Amino acid sequence: MKIKRLCIGLLALLLAFPSWRLLAQSTFKSKYGSLSITASYFDLPLTVHTKAVEVSLDYETSEIILILSPTALHTGIDSIDHRLKIIDNTWVLRGNLNLGRINTTTHAPQNFQLTGILELLPNQKLTVKGIGRLEHIGGGEEMACELAFYFDLDLEPLGISALTGPSGSENLVKVRFFETVLRKVN
């Protein structure tokens, strides 16, 4: 009798949470995304680079997650690079490319509007809106896509201007995620 109840319970769980949906979740990923941030620092141009952005794109929903450790950023300016190396939290951007289900067969490049939330600390979240392009590229046995997007970020809500001295439009930083090849992962 207990075995019968257990079987009925397991069957009910399978019906309530279809396993086909879990198996259908396929993504494109990369651990080597390139990112560049351009800003003004005490009225001087500053560019911050990295080639260590982890990217995951769910092509069923067009949801994207970018994960970046600030310690992987570099400017070429020792004092700023040192400050970046002591940041011990991870920055996460969770967003959507607003493409719906992404076609994984060969097709023309797709332009999109990125919307999302950038979490710098648990209590520091910024809304992100930008534009980008997704292009599928054939690569032998393996399908891949090339992703690039751009957005401006206003640092005023974080109180950054008090640290750097700029005001007005100088609080705006430009973020560019360069054409990064993402590989399909099942």
CATH, domain 25-185, list 3.40.50.9100, 2.40.128.110, 3.40.630.30, 3.60.90.10? 2.40.128.110
- The residue written with tokens 């001295």 in the block is 165
3-state secondary structure (DSSP) of residue 101: coil
Question: What's the gap between Cα 97 and its chain centre?
Answer: 10
pLDDT digits (tens), the chain, 186 positions:
444 443 343 333 333 333 333 434 578 888 888 999 998 877 788 899 999 999 999 988 999 999 999 999 999 999 989 988 998 889 999 999 999 888 767 678 899 999 999 998 878 899 999 999 998 876 555 667 889 999 998 877 766 554 454 445 556 788 999 877 777 776
pLDDT at 182: 79
The ranges assigned to domains in the chain are: 25-185
